[in-house]
Structure 1
Amino acid sequence: MIKIKSQQFTSKNLEEALEKAQLEFGVEKNEISYKVIQESSKGFLFGIGSKPIIIDAFINENFLVNKIKEFLSEVLIHFDEDIKTNIKVFGKTIVIYLDGDGLGKLIGKHGRTLGALQHLIMIYINRMTDTKVDIKLDIGEYRKKRRRKIEEIAEQAALKVKKQKNEVELAPMFSFERKTVHEYIRKNHPEIKTKSVGLEPYRKVVLISQ
């Protein structure tokens, strides 16, 4: 679970404590989670010995999901196509799926528009939390298809390295593409070493014969 901002609240019951948290944070009710620090008790006669409830309330991942939806609505309004958005949270990773017709403009040449949009969302979201949140954007299952293509490129490069006993430098790739190459070579060609070189956005993978 992603915790964005936390604070303790004290009140006579849970409902009032959550209302205080919602007012303090300025968020919707479903955007708050909490942990009870101290249970309330009525005490004895005339309330002697009574104790208030104390909770540690924090803004949860629903807040970020809603912010992403707002951000995307501002971007997608410039496209004529009816694009559906599906967002899922896995630990500290938020995966955004976009689907619909005419997604080519959103993907861009070699996935560059997709990569740029993902980068913008990551910057936007990580300014709201102290916890590093990883954003993964997939448009029309482009990443799944692209992964297969990258694995084919990695395989061809590995065969070339084995044949020539030399280094092979691949074209610049996005981080998820480079990661795919590293994982594929490590799993299928452990005798070949890989390393990433250069600076973004021209960072690339080099395969080295050992």
Structure 2
Amino acid sequence: MTAEELKTSAESTVEELEREGDIAADFLEGLLDIADIDGDLNLDVRQGRAYVSVEAEGDALALLSAPDTVQALQELTRLAVQSSTGSFSRMILDIGGSRDTRRRQLESLVNAAAARLDDGAGQASLPAMSSYERKLVHDIAAERGLVSESYGEGADRHTVITRG
């Protein structure tokens, strides 16, 4: 592929991701309307994924920003995108800063695992989590000079942290 073809290919990928974000936003706007929640949707493309965030004043999103609820809404939104595009979507949904909150929780889990290692444990296992959360754990562990690997299948897939 020439440099021009690569550039065109990358642009179409961004265009496809922006289209995913638009479809996701339309779907989420419908859900927010049904729930009678006023929210602002922001669309972005980050690290090869459509990223959709929902923000609102006050505590309007409190119930929707619980981790399990965000995960369920993300899966529903991905299905809506897939239904429209015919392609699998890796879109990320953030509701009321839920992703930042979850990252802080994962940082605490990695810190607790590091403390167990400091206390003499050979390894520290974390609970099962989504592939996105495991990726964050791997990044956080690497930032702290730790080694992490994922084990298990499906819903039981989890991360084990060691000193390496």
State the TM-score, normalizing by the size of structure 2. 0.75
Match of 1:195 in 2: 149
Contact 1:92 1:133 in 2 (8 A): no
Q: Which consecutive residues of structure 2, in runs of 5 or more, have no partner in the other structure?
A: 1-10
Aligned with residue 63 of structure 2, among 100, 105, 108: 105
SS at match of 1:164: coil
Q: Which consecutive residues of structure 1, in runs of 5 or more, have no partner in the other structure?
A: 5-58
- For residues 56-205 of structure 1, the aligned pairs below 5 Å read 63-90=19-46, 92-100=48-56, 101-108=59-66, 111-127=67-83, 128=85, 133-190=89-146, 193-205=147-159
State the TM-score, normalizing by the size of structure 1. 0.61
Question: What is the number of residues matched between the two proteins?
Answer: 151
User: Structure 2: which amino acid aligns with 1:202?
Assistant: D
Higher helix share: 2
Contact 1:84 1:99 in 2 (8 A): yes
1:167 and 1:62 map into 2 onto residues whose CA distance is 41
- For residues 16-35 of structure 1, the aligned pairs below 5 Å read none
Contact 2:21 2:91 in 1 (8 A): no
Structure whose alpha-carbon radius of gyration is higher: 1
1:155 and 1:3 map into 2 onto residues whose CA distance is 37
Q: Which runs of 4+ in 1 moved over 6 A?
A: none
1:173 and 1:61 map into 2 onto residues whose CA distance is 25
Higher strand share: 1
Q: 1:92 to 1:183 in 2, by over 3 A?
A: closer
User: Structure 2: which amino acid aligns with 1:102?
Assistant: A
SS at match of 2:51: strand
